[in-house]
Structure 1
Amino acid sequence: MSTLYLFSSAAPPVFDIARVVEDAQADGWDVCLGLTPTAARWLADSLDGLAALTGHPVRWDYKLPGEPDVWPKADAILVAPATFNTVNAWALGLTDKFIVGVVAEGIGKAIPTVAMPCVNAAYVQHPQFEQSVETLRAAGVTVLYGEGGFVPNQPGQGNPATYPWRAALDSLNGLGSAD
């Protein structure tokens, strides 16, 4: 079984993360779940259950120096939902948050990585967002943005139930090859 690092930011689709973990496991992945600190706060009441579901601690912060790594090495990484902040911080190399640090390093380690944003149409008008998407793509990250991935909605009009989780999971096929 191959190991998938599933990293999620604080956007409404994160509330469906248990089902996504189950779907990834059904696809043959050993899932390790990492969250931004805000996403961890949103899911605070579910963290123990998510750890039991994955069989690994849910992480949202860096380990201390000298502490052992509690996760197996990643064969692939999925960053979804990736907020405006996460996409831009990652592309700019701003690694103060655990998941951004891991995925930034993952580029250098050549870990196959897929990202799917979850941003509204107002955010994508900011010039940095498109630059960040292009930076990540140029670094080898598969960014599912636009047709076939996430298409932004108008502010306040998003429906978390329509977030294309299956497209994100399907894009992992062949990357880290879940057994």
Structure 2
Amino acid sequence: MTTLYLFASAAPPVFDVAEIIMDAQARGWHVCLGLTPTAALWLGEELPELERLTGHPVHSEYKAPREPDVWPPADVILFAPATFNTVNAWGLGLTDRFVVGVVAEAIGKQIPTVAMPCVNAAYVQHPAFDRSVETLRGAGVTVLYGEGAFVPNQPGEGRPEGFPWHLALDAVGAIVSPSP
């Protein structure tokens, strides 16, 4: 079975992650879920159910060096929603968070990776954001941002129901086809 690492930051669409896992599984993916520490905190009570859905522990912290890897290797990685902080940390190679460390390393390992930011229009005015997006794209990451992908909303105008999860899963499937 083809393994998808689904990583998510603390942005409102993270509350849809159980549905997205089930959608990915229906498309033929074996899913492992990684979260930023804040996203794990937000989903705290749901973590046991998410582990049951995936059949794997949900990771939000690095394991100790002598602990075994309990996830199968990734065939592809989807990072969505990716917050302003996550995109910039990843673009700069700041790997103090597990999920950012994995996707930073994925560039060197040539693991296909798709990212879809979830940021508001005020954040994207900061010059670091566009630089980070371009850095990631230049490193081979498919960043679904802009027309035809994720388009920022105005501050305070949360639209979690409008987050284009289907585009993210379609992009992953276009890069690596799931196999039974």
Q: Could you tell me how far apart the structure 1 residues matched to 2:8 and 2:76 are?
A: 14
- The count of residues paired between Structure 1 and Structure 2 equals 179
Q: Could you tell me how far apart the structure 2 residues matched to 1:122 and 1:174 are?
A: 31
Deviation, structure 1 residue 174 = 3.5
> What is the TM-score of this pair, normalised by structure 2?
0.98
Q: Could you tell me how far apart the structure 1 residues matched to 2:13 and 2:21 are?
A: 13
Deviation, structure 1 residue 48 = 0.4
Q: Could you tell me how far apart the structure 2 residues matched to 1:106 and 1:144 are?
A: 17
3-state DSSP of counterpart to 2:173: coil
Deviation, structure 1 residue 138 = 0.2
3-state DSSP of counterpart to 2:175: coil
Counterpart in the other structure of 1:45: 45
Q: Could you tell me how far apart the structure 2 residues matched to 1:166 and 1:42 are?
A: 23
3-state DSSP of counterpart to 1:174: helix
> Once the two structures are superposed, what CA deviation does each residue of 1:91-124 show, in whole Å capped at 9, x if it has no partner?
0000000000000000000000000000000000
- Structure 1, unpaired ranges of 5+: none
Deviation, structure 1 residue 176 = 2.5
Deviates more, 1:169-178 or 1:105-114: 169-178
Counterpart in the other structure of 1:9: 9
Counterpart in the other structure of 1:115: 115
- Structure 2, unpaired ranges of 5+: none
Deviation, structure 1 residue 41 = 0.1
Matches within 5 A, 1:15-164: 15-164=15-164
Q: Could you tell me how far apart the structure 1 residues matched to 2:89 and 2:159 are?
A: 25
> Once the two structures are superposed, what CA deviation does each residue of 1:28-57 show, in whole Å capped at 9, x if it has no partner?
000000000000000000000000000110
Deviation, structure 1 residue 12 = 0.2
